[in-house]
Structure 1
Amino acid sequence: MRFRLFRLNTILICRFSLFCLIGVLTISLCSGQNRGARGLVSFGASSGFADDTLYLDINQDIAGQLLPFDDLMKIAVTHSPLVKYQNEVANSLNEGYEIAKLQILQNVAGAANYSTGNQVLVSTGALQQGGTSTAQGSTLGQIANGYRVGIDVRFPLYELFGRKHQIRQAQANYKAAVHQRETVELSLKRDLIGIYQDMITTQQLLKILLVDEQASLTALRVGEVEIQKGQITADLMASITSRYVQAKTASEQAKGSFLKNVRYFEALVGMPIQRLKRN
């Protein structure tokens, strides 16, 4: 009877010790993650980017950490070089359209001048008998002195038959540039939606694989203790190790995919991820 009680106590103590060991390993694993002051997981040195650290909270959806998508789209349109180029093309064609409407004024010319001097020749040629000036002499004298203003208007047949077509062509080119800009913005939005959704999906996958990695690491630490005590075979220990390696490989691949999507997202928006987070 005493032997049975002793054996039962021994089994309970062993099980309690094993649970304590698993708890300690789990706590140490959770605290061993590379986290910042606010509990944000760091992706920098382990991802191969020198002097580059990205802090994001893996436990929170990235859509909740970043600005609303409509705001992100506006920022992307503002910073997109291709959209800027299309804006300048549209502005240039709009100026060409305005020039085409005003080009008719090149057929209208004005002239003005002022002159003074001795009008002896004009007056002499206009004198009659008796030394009195005629009305023609006074008129010539008035024309030769003072201001003179004139307008020259020419109206070629091209202005009658061809000008309207040139204006329509300039207007059509401007509208085409505007539509091309809208097409570029639509393409940018499509790309941004795709990479935004890929970033959300890879984050969720990474969360799942990190849990699997933690569980596999805990099993590996327990297996290391048990094999030293001779409680498991070498084949079982190799299987546990292989399971952890697979889980670690999957989590690292998911981490790399997530970071790559984040970098693509930053390139499309034109701003670093830290400046796109909610306040």
Structure 2
Amino acid sequence: MRLSTLYQLKQPLFSLASTVILGVLVHTAGYGQGNPAATPSGTQPAPTPSAAVTADSLTFDFNQDISVQLIPFEDMFKLALAYSPTIKFEAAVAAGTQASYNLSKVQILQNLTGYANYSSGNQAILSTGTNANDQLAQISNGYRYGVNVAFSIHELFGRPQQIRLAKANYDATIERKRLAEIQLRRDLFNLYQDLLLAQKILQIRLRDDQASLAAYRIAEVELQKGKIAPEAHAFNSNRYAETRATVEQAKTSFIKAIYALELFVGVPIRQLKRV
């Protein structure tokens, strides 16, 4: 029975096969997020999607490499640096440790104080004479100003260590910020490559889907003419259903990759498209 079926599938149907295959090749239909998936219905399988993928009202030319449709990777990385919460957090921590370091260098000035005062009136009690006009009676009158300086042993030996500690903390936050930038670049590159891979896989799945659709339609016509057994038609129908499922999975992965890149960079996907 199986040999008979295979023999019947190999029978030339030049006019019919060429018409069906030509119709499949010239058929195009756009699809995108939210479009219903094409599935076999009765004797009229749904058309195969191709040509373009629409995401967030932005259409990418599916037949063109998406890497040439997006802005350069370095520009994308600059946007990610500007909008990344992790980088902003590390920058704020670095600014705080820098302020602490600068404060530790001038904190010694707290031991230096100045004063100024003014006094007037009869303060003869401070004088040893009885003459009211005695100049000694006015010894405590007038302006006074000066500077007080006091140093402790801790300031002499402990202050340099505190400055070194603040400097080390500041250097550590700078290096941690650089590490966060490196991690950001690596994660962005991985997402970018995942998007390119998702597009290539989807293109391969679509070509396989078109071939399966052509075989399904040919087998359907041959079944109606009694040239093949129902088992052969069921095999082609199952093969087409499997390819349709893989196409939908590949399409979902592609759209997920687009939006993952959008969320990671932090700007709408339309801003990532090359003008």
Give the TM-score band, short-chain normalised.
Answer: 0.7 to 0.9
Alpha-carbon contact 1:44-1:54 (below 8 Å) kept: no
With normalisation by structure 1, the TM-score equals 0.80
Q: Deviations over 1:31-79 (max 9, x none)?
A: x333xxxxxxx233459xxx96663322111211111111111111111
SS in 2 for 1:245: helix
CA RMSD of aligned residues (A): 2.4
Q: Which amino acid aligns with 2:229?
A: T
- List runs of 5+ in structure 1 lacking aligned partners: 1-11, 35-41
Q: 2:9 maps to which residue? A: none
More helix, by proportion: 1
Query: Residues of 2 paired with 1:173 and 1:236: CA distance?
Result: 73
Please say which structure displays the higher CA radius of gyration. Answer: 1
- List runs of 5+ in structure 2 lacking aligned partners: 1-11, 38-54
Q: 1:273 maps to which residue? A: 269
Q: Is 2:30 the partner of 1:33?
A: yes
Q: Which amino acid aligns with 2:197?
A: T
Q: 1:198 maps to which residue? A: 194
Query: Residues of 2 paired with 1:17 and 1:254: CA distance?
Result: 31
Query: Residues of 1 paired with 2:56 and 2:73: CA distance?
Result: 25
Q: Is 2:173 the partner of 1:177?
A: yes
Q: Percent identity?
A: 41
SS in 2 for 1:239: helix
Query: Residues of 2 paired with 1:63 and 1:230: CA distance?
Result: 49
In the alignment of these two chains, the number of paired residues is: 247
Alpha-carbon contact 1:26-1:218 (below 8 Å) kept: no
Q: 2:80 maps to which residue? A: 76
With normalisation by structure 2, the TM-score equals 0.81
Q: 1:221 maps to which residue? A: 217
1:133-152 map, 5 Å: 137-138=134-135, 141=138, 143-152=139-148
SS in 1 for 2:63: coil
Alpha-carbon contact 1:43-1:53 (below 8 Å) kept: no
**Which of 209-218 and 256-265 deviates more?**
256-265
Give the drift of 1:225. 2.2
Query: Residues of 2 paired with 1:26 and 1:233: CA distance?
Result: 27
Query: Residues of 2 paired with 1:234 and 1:96: CA distance?
Result: 82
